[in-house]
Structure 1
Amino acid sequence: MYLYSKRKMLSITGLSVMLLFVLQAQAPVRPLTLQDQVEALLAKMTVEEKVGQMAQVTLDVITKGPNEYVSDEPLQLDPALVKKALVQYHVGSVLNTANNRARTPEKWYEIISQLQNVATKETRLKIPLLYGIDAVHGATYTAGATFFPQQIGQAAMWNRALVRRGAEICAYETRASSIPWAFAPVLDMGRDARFPRLWETFGEDVYLVSALGKEMVDGLEGDDNNVAGNRRVASCLKHFLGYQVPQSGKDRTPAFIPETELRERHLPSFKAAIDAGARSIMVNSGIINGISVHANHDILTKLLKEELGFKGVVVTDWKDIDNLHERDKVAATPKEAVKLAINAGVDMSMIPYNFRFCDYLVELVKEGQVPMTRIDDAVRRILTLKFELDLFKTPVTSFKNYPEFGSKAFEQSAYEAAGESITLLKNTSNVLPLKKGAKLLVTGPNANSMRSLNGGWSYSWQGEKVSEFADRYNTMLEALQKKAGSDAVKFVPGVSYKDDGKYWQEKDVNIDAAVQAAAGVDYVILCVGENSYTEKPGDLHDLSLSANQVALAQALVKTGKPVILVLNEGRPRLISAFEKDVQAVVQTYLPGNFGGDALAAILFGEINPSGKLPYTYPMYANTLVTYDHKPSEEQNKMQGMYDYESDFAIQYPFGFGLSYTTFEYSDLQVDKTVLNPEESFAVSVTVKNTGARAGKEVIQLFTSDLYASMTPDVKRLRGFDKILLTPGQSQKVTFTVKARDLAFVNKDLRWTVEAGDYEVSIGTLKTKIQLSKTHAFAN
C-alpha cells in the first residue's frame, strides 16, 4: 500500500512538473528592461573594466603623430594606441577632435567607425564607445555644419521656438557626424561682464536662462527624451554649479557665493533642465567658498544626485581632477585627487591625455579608499546612457543617412536667428535704416572677419581656424558690398587684429587712412569689438574697448559724418568714451556664419530689428551691476545735498532693444489683486504696433517685492513672449504667474513668499497685487 501510494505520488509529481514546463513554454517571456540589461552587464565586469568606463581621453591620444598632443595630417588612428586605450585600459569614452580642427562628416564616420569596431568586437564585453563633442552653437567641429549665433545671441532673440529649432538642427548634424553626445547647453549665469565665457551663456537673468535652457535640452533630446533614434543627442549641462562669477572676473578663479544666492540664481536653470530630462552634467572647473567643485560632495552628491534626484552622468571638465593636485592644492598627490573627485560624485573623468586615472582608481578601489558602491553607481549611469542612446545596436550613425545636413532650410533658420538676435541700441533721428544708394565707408577690425562673427568653439577651440572653413559665407564688409554694390562701399580697416599671438593684439593701425576715406561718403559703418577667444585665453585686465579702437572711433566722429557703430563682441566692452557721439549703435554679439548677411539686411531695412539685450550693458568699469540688483545700489536717489557717483550708471538696460516701428502698451490687468501662496494670477496687456511697418516685439513681465525680510531685488523677470504685429495691429498678451514664482530663498534656505504688496510691471505700466500670508515651500 505504501509503495503503491508512493509510486502514485511520484507519478502525479512528474505530471505536475511536465505541466509546469508546458505552461512555462507557453507563457510570454518578460523582455529585459534597460535596467535589467545594465545590471546584467555590470555583474560581469571586473574592477578594471568598470574603471575604464569612467575614463575619457581626447582623440589626439589615440592617433598617429609625434605625441599625445599632436596628430599627423591626414588624420589616422594608431591601432596600437587604440588597443591600449580600449582593450588594455577599457576606456569607455573619447572626446574632442584632433589637432584642434574641424572634420568632415565623412572623416568623423571613418574615425568613429574604426573606434567602435574595436570597442564592440575586440573587447571582452563588447561595450560601445561614447563619443562626445563641444557642439555649442551647431556641430562646431564639423566642416559644413550650420552655425547659429552663440548662446548670448540666441538669448537676445527672446524666442523660445527659434532656440529650440537651432538645437534640433545641432542634434541632427552632430549625429550626422557620427557623434551622439553634445556638451551643451551652457546654463551658467552670465552676470559678470568681464568673464571670458559670458557669450556662451543665455545672459544674466535666471528666468531667461532657465526658459531657454529647457528649450535647448528639448531640441537636443526631443520632447520625449528618446535619444535612441538617429536624430537626437544626449545633452550635457554646463557647468554645475556657480561658474562664471569669480571675484576676479577671470576664468577658473575663486568665487564666493552665499548659499542663498547659489540656490536662488544659479540652481534653478539646472533644475529646469534636469526636469526636462537632460542626461549628463559637466562640473564647474572653479572653486566656490574655498572648495574645488570637483571635490565638493555637498554639491555633486547631496545637492545634485540626492536633492535634485539627477540620474544621469556627471563628467569632469578638461583635466580637472589633475587640477585638484596641480592647481588647487587640495590633494597632495594625483592619486588623492582621483579619490576626492570620485568620492565627491564624479562619474566620468575627462582625463584627457593619459591613463594614470585608471591605474590610480583601480588601486584606490582595491585599497578600500573608494567603495565599490560608488564605482558601480558611476558605471551604472554610464552604461544606462549608452543603452539609452542605442549604441549597443547602432554604435555609429552614418553621414549617408542625413540628407538635410547643411541644407538651405537649415541655413535659413540660422539666418533668421542671426536676424532676430541683432539688437538696435541707438538710432538718433532714425539714421537707420540706410537710404538706398548711400555711399559707405566700412571700417574697423571686425568688418572683414568671419572669425569675429563666429567666436570661439567654431571649427576650432579658439575660433582661429574659421577662415579655413567659412570662405563661402560673407563678412560684414562682403555682405554690405553685395547689398549696396561694391562701387558704393569703401573699405579701410583703420585697425586690424593680428593673425597669430593673443587674440586681442592689433596691427596695421592707420587711423588717418580711415579718416581720409570718410571724405565723400554718406555714412561710416564702424565695426569694432573683439576677436575670437574662449576660456582662459579670453581673460582680460581692462573691459574698455581697445585703445586703438577707441581712437579710431573718436577720430571718425570728428569727421562730422554719421557713424553707425556695429559691435561684434562676446561680452559688453565699454564704449562710453565715444558712444554719445555716434548716431546709431547695433549689437551683433557673435551671430555666426550668417551674421554679416543679417546685419546688412538690418542696416538697409530689409529686416526690422527685434533683439533685446540679455544682460545689462555697463557704462563704466565700476558699474558692473545686473538689472536685478538691490535697492542699495542706487543710493544717490536717497541723497539730498550730495552728488554721489552711486547711481545705477549703465549704458543700456537689460531687456532693451529698439525697432524700426513703435509699440504702445495699454490696459495692464491682473485677474486678482489678493491671492494666497498656493494660487496663480493672470496678467494681461494689450500691445499695438503704432508705426508704419511690421515688427516683432518682446513683451517682458517683471515683478517687485516691495518689502521683505531679506532685502529684495528691485525687480525680477517672471515671463516673456515675442509677437509679430503689422502696422495698426493690436494683440492681447496674457501671462500666468504662480505665487510660488515670487518666492525667494530665505536665510533658512527655504523658498519663501511673504505676505505683503508686490508690483507687477510691463513696459511703463504698473499695478499691484497682494499676498495674503507668508509660506515656505518644500524645496
Structure 2
Amino acid sequence: MRKQTILAAGLALVLAACGTSGQSDGSDKVERIPRVEALLKQMTLEEKVGQMAQVTLDVVTVGNGPFHTEEPMRLDTALLRKALVDYKLGSILNTAGAKARTREEWFTVINQIQEMAMKETRLGIPVLYGVDAIHGVTYTAGSTLFPQQIGQAATWNREIVREGGAITAYETRASCTPWTFSPVLDMGRDARFPRMWESFGEDVYLSSQMAHEIVKGYEGDANQLDDPNRIASCIKHFLGYSVPESGKDRTPALIPEIELLERHVPPFAQAIRSGAQTLMVNSGLINGVPVHCNYDILTKLLKVDLGFTGLVVTDWKDIENIHTRDRVAASQKEAVKLCINAGIDMSMIPYNFDFCDYLIELVNEGEVSMARIDDAVRRILNVKHKLGLFERPVTHYDQYPDFGSEKFAAVARKAATESITLLKNEENVLPLPKNAKVLVTGPNANSMRTLNGGWSYSWQGDRVEEFAADYSTILEALESKVGKDHVMHVPGVEYNHSGKYWEDVVVDIPAVVRAAAKADYVLMCIGENSYCEKPGDLHDLSLSENQTALARALIATGKPVIMILNEGRPRIVRTLVPGCKGVLQTYLPGNYGGLALADILYGDANPSGKLPYTYPMFVNTLVTYDHKPSENQAKMQGMYDYESDFAVQWPFGHGLSYTTFTYSDLRLSSKQLTANDSIVVSVTVKNTGNREGMEVVQLYTSDMYASITPDVRRLRGFQKVSLQPDEAKEVQFTLKASDLSFINAKLQRDTEPGEFEVQVGGFVEKFEFQ
C-alpha cells in the first residue's frame, strides 16, 4: 500500500538510556537577545549556576524549617541574603506556611525579594517568582477560582477556557507574580490516577485545543509577556506522567514509543506552537528511566524535534529523587550531572543549596560543559526579559481594580454552569419544582472544600474553609434559591477531616431515611474529599462503603433520588445508578459550583456539559473511547459470550440537556480527499424542545483499515452552539489529510490511502483518501 508521509517524526527515542549525544541539542534555536547576551558575557560560573536554582519561599522566611513559617509571615533577611547574594539564586516559588496569602502580603514579600536581588547583587538580575495558579490564583485570598481543568474540559467551550486563563493571569499579576505552573497537559486516560482532575481529559484533540486556549489566555494572543496583565505559562508534566502501571502518582510507566507520540506528545506540541514559554518535567519513570535524566526525551524530542526554546524546570525535589528514590545515580552529585546534561535548565531544589555546589564542581571537572550551562541560563534570562522583569520586577495590587470582582465571578460561575454534566434524567425528574420539599444529604452537601478540590488555598485543599466562607456550598445555594423551608439537611455520612482525606464516617443513616419520608426529592451529594498528587493514591476506585450504604438506604425508600457526583475522578457507582432518577456530575466546579448546581437543579440554567472522559462501569474495565477494535470481543463467531465488551457507565462526550436536539443533512463537500485538499463536513442541528439550550456538536472519524490497528474512532472537531426552541443551524468542519494521520510502526506520522468514515450526531458518511 502506498503511504503518504504528512509529517515525519524524525525521532530516535532510545528510552532505555541516559546521557548525551553529539547531535544538535537545540541550543542554536534559542533566541539571542542583546541584553541577555551581554549579561552572559559578564556572569561568573557561580552566577550562572545560581540562575538555574529555585527554592521554596519557606527557606527564606522566619520560622523553624520548611512549611513552618512563623505568623505573620516575614522574610528572614539573613537567609534571603544567603540565597540571593551568596548563592545568587534566580528563582523562588510557592507560598509560605502552606496556605494562601493576601495580595498585600505577596507584594510586601516579593518586593523585598526583588529589591535585594536587584540592589545587593553584582548584576542586579531580578528573581523569577512562580506559583501553582492552577484554577485561578491558588495561593491568593479573595482570588477568582474556576472549575478545575477537568471541569473546564467538560464545558467544551474554547472561549470560556481562554477567558478563565486571562482572568487568572490578571489576578496572578495582581499578586505580584509573573509565572504559573500551569496548565497540566497530561492525558486523563486512567481513572485511578490522583491527578486526573488536573487534566483536560482523555482525548488528544480536546486536550490540544484546550491547551492552545489556556496558553493564549495566560500569555495573550501574541504571547506578550511584558504586558502587566499576562503571565508565563508552564506546560506540564512532560512526558507521559499520567499513565503509570499502578495508577498511582510518581510510579513507573511502561509506554511504547508509538503511544508516547500518538497520545501524549500532541497537546504539548500544540502548546509549544501556541508559544508556551516554560515547561515542567514528569516526576516519574518511563520504561525504567526517570524522565528528568532522559536526554532522548528532554533534548532530542523536546528541544530538537519539537523546537522548544523556552525554560525547562524540574518538578519538586526531582533531581534528588534520581538518587534517593530511583537509584539511577549513585550520589546527589551524579544525579545533578545526569539531569543537567539531559536538558534540565532549572532545578526546583527546593530546600537547600547543594545543587549549586555540585553543579559548580561538575563544570570545573569537565563533567558538564559550559555550553550546556550557557544554554540553560540563556533560556532562563530570556523568560525574565520577555516578562519585563528588568524594567518592572514587581506589580502592585492597587493597579488591578478588577481583582476578585463580580465581573470575574460571573465568568467563573458561567464556567461552572457549563461544566456540570447531566448524565441521567429518567422521566424528566429534573428540573425540580421550586415548591418541592427536598432532602439534601451526603458528605459533599455542605463543603466548600469538596467543591474546590486540591490546589485551593493550600496544596491539599484542606484549608478551603478558612478562605471560602463567603461562598455557597451546595446546601447554602439551594437554601438561597428556594428558601430554607423547602430544604432539609441531614448529612448521614461526613468526611473525617482529622484523619486521612479519603476516610468518611457514618453519622446517622437511619436519621437520613426518616427525613426522606418527609421529602418529595432526595439530593444525594457524594463523591470525594479534596486531595492532590501522592496523597490522592487509592487502592480501590469504588465509591466508599459508607457512601454506598447511604445511597442504598435512600434508594430503598422509594423516593426520587438525584445523585450529585462531586469528585475529581470517576468513582464506580454501577450498582447505584439504576435506583437513581437523575445523576449529575459536577467534577470540581470551584467556589461558584454550588450556585451553578442550584441553577441547574431548578431549571434556571440548562445543563450543557459533556464528559471529557469515559466513565467506567467496573474497576477492571478502564477503557477509553478511542480504543482498538479488539477491546470489544463480547461474542466471537457467535460461539461465546465473554465479559469483554465495551462496558462503560457513560461514554466520552455524553451529556444530556433539558431540551432535545436533532441532527440531519450530514454532507461532505467531496467523497475524495488528497494530501493537498480538504473536505468540508456540514450538518444541521435543530433544537426540537421548548427551551433554549447549548449542544456540543462532535465530529469523529474512523479509519477502516490501516497498517497498524486503527482506533475505533477519533474526535476530530467540536463546536458548541446555542439554539432557541425550534431554531436550526448548519455547523461546518474542515477535514484535512493531517487530521486523519497516525503514528505508524516506523514512528512516522502518516495518512494512508483508504476508506474513512465521518460520524456526527449518529449519522455516518464515507470518503476515500488517495
TM-score by length of 1: 0.94
The answer as to 2:231 corresponding to 1:255 is no
Q: Which amino acid aligns with 1:489?
A: V
Instruction: Report what 1:701 is aligned to.
Output: 699
Match of 1:235 among 233, 236, 248: 233
Instruction: Report what 2:455 is aligned to.
Output: 457
Q: Which amino acid aligns with 2:64?
A: P
8 Å contact kept, 1:185–1:236: yes
Instruction: Report what 2:467 is aligned to.
Output: 469
Higher relative contact order (CA 8 A, sep 6+): 2
Q: 1:637 Cα deviation (Å)?
A: 4.2
Instruction: Report what 2:203 is aligned to.
Output: 205
Instruction: Report what 2:479 is aligned to.
Output: 481
How far apart, CA to CA, are the structure 1 residues paired with 2:38 and 2:228? 26
Q: 1:768 Cα deviation (Å)?
A: 0.4
Instruction: Report what 1:60 is aligned to.
Output: 58
How far apart, CA to CA, are the structure 2 residues paired with 1:395 and 1:266? 35
Instruction: Report what 2:15 is aligned to.
Output: none
How far apart, CA to CA, are the structure 1 residues paired with 2:260 and 2:112? 44
How far apart, CA to CA, are the structure 2 residues paired with 1:638 and 1:44? 72
Number of aligned positions between the proteins:
740
8 Å contact kept, 1:239–1:281: yes
Q: Superposed, which structure 2 residues align to 1:18-29 within 5 Å?
A: none
Match of 2:272 among 255, 271, 274: 274
How far apart, CA to CA, are the structure 1 residues paired with 2:576 and 2:470? 34
CA displacement 1:419-445 (0-9 Å, x = unmatched): 000000000000000012000000000
Instruction: Report what 1:288 is aligned to.
Output: 286
How far apart, CA to CA, are the structure 2 residues paired with 1:638 and 1:680? 38
Q: Which amino acid aligns with 1:183?
A: F
8 Å contact kept, 1:34–1:387: no
Q: 1:506 Cα deviation (Å)?
A: 1.3
- Which structure 2 residue ranges, 5 or more long, are not aligned? 1-30
Q: Which 4+ runs in 1 deviate beyond 2 A? A: none
How far apart, CA to CA, are the structure 2 residues paired with 1:60 and 1:180? 19
8 Å contact kept, 2:67–2:98: no
CA displacement 1:311-352 (0-9 Å, x = unmatched): 100000000000000110000001100000000000000000
Instruction: Report what 1:602 is aligned to.
Output: 600
Instruction: Report what 1:224 is aligned to.
Output: 222
Instruction: Report what 2:11 is aligned to.
Output: none
Instruction: Report what 1:569 is aligned to.
Output: 567
Instruction: Report what 1:744 is aligned to.
Output: 742
Q: 1:34 Cα deviation (Å)?
A: 6.8
Match of 1:636 among 628, 634, 637: 634
Q: Percent identity?
A: 65
Instruction: Report what 1:332 is aligned to.
Output: 330
How far apart, CA to CA, are the structure 1 residues paired with 2:525 and 2:640? 40
- Which structure 1 residue ranges, 5 or more long, are not aligned? 1-32, 773-779
Q: 1:529 Cα deviation (Å)?
A: 0.2
8 Å contact kept, 1:221–1:235: yes
How far apart, CA to CA, are the structure 1 residues paired with 2:498 and 2:285? 32
Instruction: Report what 2:132 is aligned to.
Output: 134
Instruction: Report what 1:14 is aligned to.
Output: none
Match of 1:424 among 422, 425, 428: 422
2:701 aligns to what SS in structure 1?
A: strand
Instruction: Report what 1:722 is aligned to.
Output: 720
Q: Superposed, which structure 2 residues align to 1:80-229 within 5 Å?
A: 80-229=78-227
Instruction: Report what 2:684 is aligned to.
Output: 686
Q: Which amino acid aligns with 1:162?
A: I
Instruction: Report what 1:4 is aligned to.
Output: none
Instruction: Report what 1:408 is aligned to.
Output: 406
Instruction: Report what 1:523 is aligned to.
Output: 521
Match of 1:651 among 640, 644, 649: 649
CA displacement 1:243-302 (0-9 Å, x = unmatched): 100010000001011111100110010010000000000000000011100000000000
8 Å contact kept, 1:62–1:68: no
How far apart, CA to CA, are the structure 2 residues paired with 1:69 and 1:406? 27
Q: Superposed, which structure 2 residues align to 1:294-309 within 5 Å?
A: 294-309=292-307
8 Å contact kept, 1:453–1:568: yes
Match of 1:671 among 666, 669, 672: 669
2:715 aligns to what SS in structure 1?
A: strand
Instruction: Report what 1:501 is aligned to.
Output: 499
Q: Which amino acid aligns with 2:584?
A: V
Instruction: Report what 2:621 is aligned to.
Output: 623
How far apart, CA to CA, are the structure 2 residues paired with 1:69 and 1:398? 26
8 Å contact kept, 1:681–1:739: no
How far apart, CA to CA, are the structure 1 residues paired with 2:518 and 2:259? 55
Q: 1:641 Cα deviation (Å)?
A: 2.8
Q: Which moved more, 1:632-641 or 1:443-452?
A: 632-641
Instruction: Report what 1:556 is aligned to.
Output: 554
How far apart, CA to CA, are the structure 1 residues paired with 2:226 and 2:712? 45
CA displacement 1:470-526 (0-9 Å, x = unmatched): 000000000011112101111010000012221111124311111111011100000
Q: 1:680 Cα deviation (Å)?
A: 1.2
Q: 1:677 Cα deviation (Å)?
A: 2.1
Q: 1:709 Cα deviation (Å)?
A: 0.8
Instruction: Report what 1:511 is aligned to.
Output: 509
1:658 aligns to what SS in structure 2?
A: coil
1:218 aligns to what SS in structure 2?
A: helix
Q: Superposed, which structure 2 residues align to 1:289-438 within 5 Å?
A: 289-438=287-436
How far apart, CA to CA, are the structure 2 residues paired with 1:652 and 1:639? 27
8 Å contact kept, 1:246–1:255: yes
Match of 2:591 among 561, 570, 593: 593
Relative distance call for 1:639 and 1:459 in structure 2 (3 A) is farther
Structure of greater Rg: 1
Q: Which amino acid aligns with 1:460?
A: S
How far apart, CA to CA, are the structure 2 residues paired with 1:578 and 1:415? 29
